[in-house]
A and B are shown apart, each in its own frame.
Chain A
Amino acid sequence: MKLPPFQALLDEHRVEVYRFCVATAGRAEADDCFQETWIAALRAYPKLRRADNLRAWLLRIAHNKAMDLHRSRGRRPVPVESVPEPARAPTAPELAADDEPELWAAVRDLPPKQRTAVFCRTVLGMPYAELARLLESSEDAARRNVFEGLRTLREGWTP
């Protein structure tokens, strides 16, 4: 298995991984999420069997690290994803288009898969096939996660 030098991976995906961490784990936890992601990736790297789509592989690790951080800080219980959405309203009273941090605070309140799906789809423009791989789900499930996440966000959002 011919793998590129790990530093090349870090150089190529540093920005995407960091923004993913800020968006999903929050600004205060972003550095921890980033560090944990790259250490875990480095640990697993030599055993990697395919070198295609390393972005999905890295963001899957970051997704798990963001969940771990949410859990360990006990900031809020992690929502169970199989329960149908009772339309959880974002915590911010009123979200406006120009109020960026609040919009992302609302994203962070989404269940983890929806949070990741919304970020990857809207910010990275990630194809559903790649998102499905990242979430280890079907493409239909990936689509549903984007859809549900955006629906929840829209309920608390005024353009």
Chain B
Amino acid sequence: MIDNPNGTADLADGGDAALEAALRSSAAALPDAPSPELDERIAERAAGEELLDVAYATVDSPLGRLVVAATPRGLVRVAYTESATDAGVLEELARKVSPRILEAPARLDAARRELDEYFEGRRTQFELPLDWELTRGFTSRVLQATARIAFGSTSTYAEVATQAGSPRAVRAAGNALGANPLPVVVPCHRVLRTGGGIGGYTGGLERKEYLLRLEGVLV
């Protein structure tokens, strides 16, 4: 028997091309997509049934668009990227946290509000719970030391390395800051070179300078 599913199949289907064409064309008149509110209801129900491991949203900021993501434990990721599908942000979260990820802006209302207030100069400290799941070991210690640097003040790579328990690991501290999964909220922009050089920044030096100006460190 010749295996030709598409050729012989049409005859096996009954061969009524007109009926099939009518079904196809009438299907084109079926509504394509549910209302956006239905997506929100699904995300909320998923959260209520503890099926939503990562919720994310996009937030507009003076630094461009940010993707913010949270687990039930707290904010887990802030990324400088135009959309969540860019730059593999969601793929990274799926791999390292959980593939149960949905866009759920309502779940990130608090994060969005605090970020808005910060960028408008009305907030000097973030109060959001943080989930450090994407950090490990030395990186985690460097970033937790960084999280304690107050608004408007700065530290150095050498200092955060010391606070993380490895005074000589200055370069590794720089790498840890470059891998910060929570920029802005964990203020790696407040870490400068010893001697006052601005150092590097994953989001680009312009963003680092903007944040330091916002906090009154740079004039």
Contacts and interface: CB of A to CB of B under 8 A. Distances in A.
A47 B14 CA distance: 39
Contact of A123 (B24, B42, B100): B24
Contact of B31 (A5, A18, A129): A18
B99 A3 contact: yes
Interface in A20-61: 22-23, 27, 30-31, 34-35, 38-39, 42-43, 45-46
Nearest to A153: B19
Contacts, number: 126
B100 A97 contact: no
Interface residues of B, number: 45
Contact of A5 (B20, B30, B90): B90
B34 A34 contact: yes
Given A7-B102, A45-B99, A35 B16 contact: no
Given A3-B99, A5-B99, A18-B31, A42 B19 contact: no
Which 8 pairs show the lowest CB-CB distances between chains A and B? A100-B26, A5-B90, A3-B99, A123-B27, A5-B101, A150-B14, A5-B94, A122-B23
8 contacts: A4-B94, A14-B33, A34-B34, A42-B100, A46-B99, A123-B23, A143-B9, A153-B19
Interface of A: 2-8, 10, 14-15, 18-19, 22-23, 27, 30-31, 34-35, 38-39, 42-43, 45-46, 97, 100-101, 103-104, 107, 118-119, 121-123, 127-129, 139, 143, 146-147, 150-151, 153-154, 157, 159
